[in-house]
Amino acid sequence: MFDGFALREIDVAEDVRLRVRIGGAGPPVVLLHGHPRTHTTWYRVAPLLVDAGHTVVCPDLRGYGRSTAPPPRPDHSQASKRAMAGDVVALMRELGHDSFSVVGHDRGNCVAYRAALDHPEQVTRLALLDSIPIGEHLARADARFAQAWWHWFFFAQPDIPERVINADPLAWYHAGGEREDAMGAENYADFLDAIQDPQVVRAMLEDYRAGLGVDRAADDADRAAGRTIDCPTLVAWSTEDDMEELYGDVLAVWRPWATDLRGGVVHSGHHMAEEAPEELAALLADHLRA
C-alpha cells in the first residue's frame, strides 16, 4: 500500500499534527477522505495520479485516523471545516507548495470547498465528490433526507453517540470480512484502528456537531455575501449513491457556488476511491490537466 510514498507527521496548528502520505513529483494535489475513513482510502487512486504526473498528498483530517485534534469547544469550532481547511493550507506550505489542487470526498468534500472559498489564491483546481455544501443539504432537508442521512442529527447529540458507538464500534460501522475484501487488507486494518479508538470516534462526532452549527453558518454567510468558488471545479457523484435521488440535477445545486463548473459520474457505490479507483483516477487526472 502506497509503495514509494513517504509517511510523515507534520504539525499544522496548535495541538494539531497530521499523519500524511506524500508521493510523486509534479503539480501538487491533496486528497481528502470522508467519514469514517482515513487517508488510506486513497491507496488505489493515489499511485495512479502519481503516474499521471502529480505530487500527491494524502492526510488524515484533524481528529481522524492518527491525526490529532484540540479538545472540544462549546461551539465545536475546533472541528470546523474552516479549521480543517487551514490545516490543509498549512500542511502544503510546510511541504513547499504555495498553490495546489484539492480533491474531497464525503466530509473531505466539505473541507475542500471551504479551502477554495477561504484560500482562493492557494487552491488552483477543485474536485468535489458525492456531496453538496452543508448549508444546501440542510436547507433542502426533508423526510427523505432525514430517513437517509439521519446519522447527521444523531451524531450532533451530546454524549449519547459516543456511548452507543464505542459500545460496539465493529457492529456500528458494519465491519466484517466482506468489508475487508472490498477495502483491501491494509486499508481495512487502518479503518479498524480508527473506529476502535474512542478519541477518534469523539473527534469524528465533533466534525458533525460543527457541521450543524459553525459550518452551516459559514456557508450561509458566503451565500448571503455572494462569494463563489472561482477555480475550475469538478463535481462528481456515484451512480449507486443517493445524490441524484435526493437532489435531481446535482450540478444545479452547485451552480450558484462555482463560476467554472463541470460534472461527472463514477459507476460505483459511495466509496468510489475503493470501488472504482481507475475510473475515478482517470476522471480526476483529466480535470487536473485540463
Taking only the tens place, the pLDDT of each residue in 45-99 is 999 999 999 999 999 999 999 999 999 999 999 999 999 999 999 999 999 999 9
**Structural contact between residues 254 and 235, judged by C-beta atoms closer than 8 angstroms:** yes
Please give the pLDDT value at position 221.
97
Cα separation, 156 vs 282, whole angstroms:
36
Q: 27 is in which domain, residue-wise? A: 6-289
Residue 178 — very low, low, confident or very high, per pLDDT cuts 50/70/90?
confident
Q: How many CA atoms lie within 13 A of 211 on its CB side?
A: 27
Domain contains 204: yes
Residues 167-182 have a mean pLDDT of 91
Q: Which of 164, 19, 99, 282 is nearest to 6 (CA)?
A: 19
Residues acting as catalytic residues: 106, 270
Residues 145-170 have a mean pLDDT of 96
Cα separation, 126 vs 130, whole angstroms:
13
Please give the pLDDT value at position 260.
98
**Residues facing residue 229 across a β-bridge:** 258
Please give the pLDDT value at position 114.
98
Please give the pLDDT value at position 177.
79
Q: How many CA atoms lie within 13 A of 81 on its CB side?
A: 31
Q: Name the average pLDDT for the chain.
A: 97
CATH number (domain holding residue 82): 3.40.50.1820
Based on the structure, what is the number of domains in the chain?
1
Residue 224 — very low, low, confident or very high, per pLDDT cuts 50/70/90?
very high
Domain contains 1: no
> Is residue 151 scored above 90 in pLDDT?
yes
Q: State the CB neighbour count (10 A cutoff) for residue 279.
A: 17
Domain contains 140: yes
Please give the pLDDT value at position 2.
97
Domain contains 149: yes
Domain contains 100: yes
| Widest pairwise Cα distance in the chain | 49
Please give the pLDDT value at position 247.
95
The percent of residues in the chain predicted with pLDDT above 90, rounded, is 98
> Is residue 269 scored above 90 in pLDDT?
yes
> Is residue 106 scored above 90 in pLDDT?
yes
Domain contains 227: yes
> Is residue 290 scored above 80 in pLDDT?
no
Domain contains 169: yes
pTM: 0.98
Residue 283 — very low, low, confident or very high, per pLDDT cuts 50/70/90?
very high
Question: To which H or E segment does residue 63 belong?
Answer: none
Please give the pLDDT value at position 176.
83
Distances (CA, A) of 260 to 13, 126, 235, 256, 284: 32, 10, 11, 10, 16
Residues 130-141 have a mean pLDDT of 95
